[in-house]
């Protein structure tokens, strides 16, 4: 069923055939004819979704979003009779396919051979634990904040709630650029600009000052976000540094290597940014060394960026940035490196080749744009080589041709990528712009899509928004990935990931890319099986305690 117009449907508790429909507020759906729908928010109405609460052990929750128009549709269903724990044994012979094909794991169950039906069963074992979730979020860019500034007060309130409240996406991470990006209306750093000379380097940074975009747009929004999400973790990345610090004397990435004689000054520049934000009662959780430092050369000529060789980046961390941060008032900051494509992770050993560099780096940041099903092993390899360094996905966006309202396939791209990352040691996933206009901007380069699109007196929640939400809403910080596997030939059309929450709940997210309904049996060693009818082109989150 697709709800159109301003619909607020409150479903009373209905018990029939073992299914309880839970009170909820539904999406005001609109179809633009692009292969899916959006949910419309205006000054007086915006859909919300209540946070889940533990249900009795004889029940489980199924939450569905799909191409047909369901959005966070919640059902509470009853288990059949639970399997006795005494019957749950680990057989000595039968094997399952795991996401890592090198894993040779014995599935738990009473009669495993009868359960190993290809394509029919998803196996869960909470006794096998992997990485812990740090969170989910998006970027507070200039473009996003310009859109927010153009919203009415009620609409802005809806947007903040949609992202940072528990009945929204419950974001707990936000990326705040240091200076301008390609999603700014002008290029700027905190020292020079296009109107200043580029060859004058001030070693005292006395002219450092935050931009109007920081003072008037980002900082006020961040304060509002903290009111809804008190545990919000902020991290920053640079696209633009002072032109005088670069060999090409330009904000643009092309040939834009950092001059080695200003390495220490650049580290001081980073610290100064944190000092100034702290003066506005904004404290950061972390930073990345530089946004996409290895592909800046290949970017469009007009795209801002800073170029690094991996070895030089490692030297800068070791000799300048790391020690400078540790001596500053911001020594608590988590330092992440790479902040570039998954395909470039083989550069990590060149960055972290020195033990002194290793001691300053806390994590490795990766981007979405060159992710493939067949290169997830790169994540596994980095984790194996640096098990004490967390992996965090720090940027993603789709829509190189601009905005396509309601395109469900874009939502699937997000859902699939998050699942890939989480199944291969990534601890969280951060989107790019939290809101853009109907042209995918404003920006100084090409427009892109975003989970929320601002248009006149409304904004539209794209399928992207709900794709992220099937993870961010139900995987709180501290959730730990557990074993899940299915031996099926269509594993890239039906895939899953499983977690155990801090409250003891089990969460399984399943993506069905088939154009028709498919059935899966969810088998947990400690519980009875659940039969799921996954609707066509859907994302399903299952929870039980």
Distance CA 176, CA 158 (A): 21
Q: For residue 509, what are the CA distances in angstroms to 31, 84, 497? A: 26, 25, 6
Joined tokens for residue 530: 């659940």
Contact of 148 with 433, CB cutoff 8 Å: no
Instruction: Spell out a b/e string for 232-268, using b for 16 or more CB atoms within 10 Å of the CB, else e.
Output: bbbbbbbbbbbbbbbebbbbbbbebbbeeebbebbbb
* First-to-last C-alpha distance (Å) of the chain: 29
Distance CA 314, CA 297 (A): 19
In DSSP notation, 176-235 reads --BS--TTSSS---SS--TTS-SS---TT-TT----HIIIIIIHHHHHHHHHH-TTPEEE
Distance CA 192, CA 208 (A): 9
Distance CA 214, CA 318 (A): 29
Q: For residue 262, what are the CA distances in angstroms to 26, 243, 316, 319, 443? A: 55, 11, 10, 12, 29
H or E, element range at 75 = strand 73-78
In DSSP notation, 435-474 reads -EETTS-S-SS-----SEEEETTEEEE-HHHHHHHHHHTT
Contact of 438 with 404, CB cutoff 8 Å: no
- Residue 22 DSSP code: P
135-139 and 426-433 beta bridge pairing: parallel
Query: How many other CB atoms are found less than 10 A from the CB of residue 287?
Result: 27
Joined tokens for residue 10: 């409150």
Contact of 467 with 539, CB cutoff 8 Å: yes
Joined tokens for residue 334: 């988590």
Contact of 464 with 414, CB cutoff 8 Å: yes
Angle between helix 219-228 and helix 153-164 axes, rounded to 10 deg: 60
Torsion of CA 270, 273, 274, 275, to 10 degrees: 120
Contact of 428 with 472, CB cutoff 8 Å: no
Catalytic residues, by residue number, are: 292, 395
Contact of 527 with 79, CB cutoff 8 Å: yes
């Amino acid at each position: 069923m697709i709800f159109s117009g301003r619909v607020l449907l409150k479903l009373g508790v209905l018990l029939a055939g073992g299914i309880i429909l839970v009170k909820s507020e539904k999406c005001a759906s609109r179809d633009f004819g692009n292969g899916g729908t959006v949910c419309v928010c205006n000054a007086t109405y915006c859909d919300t979704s209540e946070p889940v609460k533990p249900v009795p052990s004889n029940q489980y929750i199924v939450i569905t979003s799909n191409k047909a128009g369901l959005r966070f549709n919640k059902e509470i269903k009853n288990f059949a009779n639970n399997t006795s724990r005494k019957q749950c044994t680990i057989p000595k012979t039968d094997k399952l396919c795991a996401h890592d094909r090198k894993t040779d794991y014995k599935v738990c169950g009473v009669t495993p051979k009868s359960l190993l039906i290809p394509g029919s069963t998803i196996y869960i074992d909470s006794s096998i634990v992997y990485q812990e979730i740090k969170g989910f979020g998006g970027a507070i860019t200039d473009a996003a904040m310009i859109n927010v500034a153009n919203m009415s007060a009620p609409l802005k309130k809806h947007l903040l709630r949609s992202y940072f409240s528990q009945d929204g996406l419950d974001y707990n991470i936000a990326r705040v650029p240091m200076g301008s990006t390609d999603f700014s209306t002008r290029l700027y750093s905190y020292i020079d600009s296009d109107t200043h000379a580029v060859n004058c380097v001030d070693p005292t940074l006395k002219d450092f000052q935050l931009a109007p975009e920081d003072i008037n747009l980002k900082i006020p929004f961040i304060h509002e976000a903290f009111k809804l999400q008190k545990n919000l973790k902020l991290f920053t990345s640079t696209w633009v540094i002072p032109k005088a610090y670069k060999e090409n004397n330009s904000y643009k990435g092309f040939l834009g290597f950092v001059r080695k004689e200003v390495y220490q000054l650049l580290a001081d520049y980073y610290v100064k940014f944190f000092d100034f934000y702290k003066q506005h009662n904004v404290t950061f959780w972390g930073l990345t060394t530089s946004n996409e430092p290895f592909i800046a050369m290949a970017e469009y000529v007009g795209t801002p960026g800073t170029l690094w060789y991996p070895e030089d980046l490692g030297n800068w961390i070791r000799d300048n940035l790391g020690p400078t941060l540790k001596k500053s008032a911001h020594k608590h900051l988590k330092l992440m490196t790479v902040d570039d494509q998954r395909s470039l992770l083989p550069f990590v050993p060149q960055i972290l080749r020195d033990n002194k560099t290793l001691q300053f780096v806390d994590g490795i940041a990766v981007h979405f744009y060159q992710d493939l099903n067949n290169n997830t092993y790169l994540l596994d390899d980095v984790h194996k080589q640096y098990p004490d360094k967390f992996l965090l996905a720090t940027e993603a966006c789709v829509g190189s041709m601009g905005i396509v309202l309601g395109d469900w396939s874009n939502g699937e791209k997000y859902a699939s990528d998050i699942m890939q990352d989480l199944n291969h040691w990534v601890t969280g996933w951060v989107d790019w712009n939290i809101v853009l206009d109907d042209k995918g901007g404003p920006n100084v380069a090409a427009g892109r899509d975003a989970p929320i699109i601002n248009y006149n007196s409304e904004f539209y929640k794209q399928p992207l928004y709900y794709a992220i939400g099937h993870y961010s809403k139900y995987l709180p910080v501290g959730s730990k990935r557990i074993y899940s596997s299915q031996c099926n030939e269509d594993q890239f059309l039906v895939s899953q990931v499983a977690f155990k929450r801090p409250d003891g709940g089990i969460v399984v997210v399943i993506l069905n890319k088939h154009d028709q309904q498919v059935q899966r049996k969810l088998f947990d060693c400690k519980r009875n099986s659940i039969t799921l009818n996954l609707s066509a082109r859907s994302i399903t989150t299952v929870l039980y305690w």
